């Protein structure tokens, strides 16, 4: 995620960071050169004057903008749903920590409560690693008893296996007379919510927007931009390359951003800062049980991962 700065409206026009411009530059320069060539040859290909004019481009450009709008909406909804799920992860783990103190007869600094908090943080890190396809073993070993960490690490669906252990912790507390079954089911209700959160993230990660949509729009946007200079060469003359690159920049950039945030758990600049969020959750959970806090995340070039 890119941190929002406090730039004035004027400085925002020339900002480099957070823009997709660097990534798209090669393609736009290609288009620029092509447009210049087309203007130079006055829109003829091998002595054949290409008979395009702005009318079909107006019609089709607006249609294309509508379809891009649809794609943007769908991608942004995915991004925002992913963010909501990680927000719910924060809320729900906080609720569980509070309940482990107030619905049981354990005290806030007891061995058991602290171990419960460690399980929760391990779950959060395991989920992050699952969504990013990275190795969870180091983070698990730091937060779980060694034997358990090894056992969890060997499974396919690690966060859910840790969730089961949380359920067992509660069952144990009940067996030891630290809570009754009413309090147990109240905590279990929050485990259900955790299950929904984990599954919701898996759903977003495993099911993209139907691939055919992406292909179709990608193709249409690029083909449209390619044909654009032929349509405007007669009326705009040497301004054609500038206008074409300006229009193409907006269309291609929107398509690129939509493609980037469609999979919000990745590590591209506009993706969610799963790393920073994991540390935040760990911080607030440990603060609730008055334990030393972890190091806060730092941003590089205003980008937090």
Instruction: Tell me whether residue 297 is exposed, middle or buried, using C-beta atoms within 10 angstroms of its C-beta: 0 to 12, 13 to 18, 19 or more.
Output: middle
- Kindly state whether residue 177 participates in binding a copy of itself, applying the rule CB under 8 A: no
CA–CA distance, 65 with 85 (Å, rounded to integer): 30
The nearest distance, CB 139 to a copy of itself, in angstroms, is: 20
By CB under 8 A, is residue 46 in contact with a copy of itself? no
- At its nearest, how many Å lie between a copy of itself and the CB of residue 57? 6
Smallest distance from a copy of itself to CB 21, Å = 9
Token pair belonging to 200: 């919701």
Structure token pair of residue 94: 């906080």
Binder among 44, 58, 134, 299 for a copy of itself (CB under 8 A): 58
205 binds a copy of itself (CB under 8 A): no
Q: Identify residues 92-151 at the interface with a copy of itself (CB under 8 A).
A: 92, 94-95, 98-99, 101-103
Nearer Cβ to a copy of itself, position 41 or 157?
Answer: 157
Per rule CB under 8 A, is residue 199 in the interface with a copy of itself? yes
- Residue where the block lists tokens 């074409």: 244
Report if residue 218 touches a copy of itself, rule: CB under 8 A: yes
Q: What is the DSSP letter of 105?
A: S
The residue within the footprint of a copy of itself, chosen from 36, 284, 291, 297 (CB under 8 A), is 284
Block residue for tokens 């060997």: 154
If one asks whether residue 287 binds a copy of itself (CB under 8 A), the answer comes out as yes
Counting beta carbons within 10 angstroms of the beta carbon of residue 59, is it exposed (0 to 12), middle (13 to 18) or buried (19 or more)? exposed
Q: Residues touching a copy of itself: how many (CB under 8 A)?
A: 123
Instruction: Residue 214: count other Cβ atoms within 10 Å of its Cβ.
Output: 17
Q: Kindly give the residue spans of alpha helices, DSSP state H, lying in the chain.
A: 21-40, 54-102, 111-132, 137-143, 146-153, 158-175, 181-206, 211-236, 240-262, 274-288
Q: Which of residues 252-281 bind a copy of itself (CB under 8 A)?
A: 253-254, 256-257, 260-261, 269-270, 272
Of residues 11-30, those binding a copy of itself (CB under 8 A): 12-13, 15, 18-20, 27
CA dihedral of 210, 212, 213, 216, whole degrees rounded to 10: 170
Residues 221-240 touching a copy of itself, rule: CB under 8 A, are 222-223, 227, 232, 235-239
**Contact range with a copy of itself by CB under 8 A, out of 114-122, 126-134, 141-149, 243-251:** 243-251
DSSP state of 17: T
CB of 45 to a copy of itself, least distance (A): 11
Sign of CA dihedral 81, 207, 140, 3: negative
Q: Looking at 120-128, 129-137, 140-148, 187-195, which segment touches a copy of itself (CB under 8 A)?
A: 187-195
Q: Taking contact as CB under 8 A, which single stretch among the options 5-13, 122-130, 132-140, 141-149 is the one that binds a copy of itself?
A: 5-13
How far apart are alpha carbons 20 and 71 in whole angstroms? 17
Interacting residue with a copy of itself among 37, 56, 145, 294 (CB under 8 A): 56
- With binding defined as CB under 8 A, does residue 297 bind a copy of itself? no
Q: Indicate which single residue of 6, 66, 147, 292 sits in contact with a copy of itself (rule: CB under 8 A).
A: 66
Q: For the residues of 157-200, what is the DSSP string, one character each?
A: SHHHHHHHHHHHHHHHHHHTTSS-HHHHHHHHHHHHHHHHHHHH
Query: Quick check: 220 binds a copy of itself (CB under 8 A)?
Result: yes
């Amino acid at each position: 995620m890119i941190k929002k700065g406090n730039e004035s409206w004027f400085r925002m026009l020339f900002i480099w960071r957070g823009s997709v411009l660097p990534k798209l530059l090669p393609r736009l320069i290609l288009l620029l050169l092509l447009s210049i060539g087309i203007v130079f040859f006055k829109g003829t290909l091998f002595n054949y004057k290409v008979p395009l004019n702005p009318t079909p481009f107006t019609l089709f450009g607006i249609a294309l903008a509508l379809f891009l709008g649809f794609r943007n909406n769908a991608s942004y909804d995915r991004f925002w749903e992913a963010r909501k799920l990680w927000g719910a992860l924060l809320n729900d783990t906080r609720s569980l920590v509070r309940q482990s103190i107030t619905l049981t007869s354990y005290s806030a600094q007891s061995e058991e409560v602290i171990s419960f908090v460690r399980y929760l943080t391990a779950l959060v890190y395991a989920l992050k690693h699952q969504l990013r396809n990275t190795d969870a073993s180091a983070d698990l070993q730091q937060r779980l008893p060694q034997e358990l960490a090894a056992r969890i690490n060997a499974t396919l669906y690690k966060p859910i296996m840790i969730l089961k252990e949380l359920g067992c912790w509660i069952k144990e507390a009940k067996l030891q007379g630290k809570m009754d079954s009413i309090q147990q089911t109240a905590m279990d209700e929050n485990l259900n919510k955790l299950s929904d959160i984990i599954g919701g993230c898996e759903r977003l990660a495993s099911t993209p927007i139907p691939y055919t949509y992406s292909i179709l729009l990608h193709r249409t946007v690029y083909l449209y931009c390619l044909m654009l200079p032929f349509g405007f060469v007669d009326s705009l003359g040497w301004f054609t390359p500038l206008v074409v690159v300006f229009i193409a920049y907006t269309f291609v950039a929107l398509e690129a951003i939509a493609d980037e945030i469609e999979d919000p758990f990745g590590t591209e600049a506009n993706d969610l800062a799963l790393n920073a969020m994991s540390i935040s959750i760990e911080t607030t959970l440990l603060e609730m049980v008055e334990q030393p806090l972890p190091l806060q995340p730092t941003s590089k070039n205003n980008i937090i991962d």
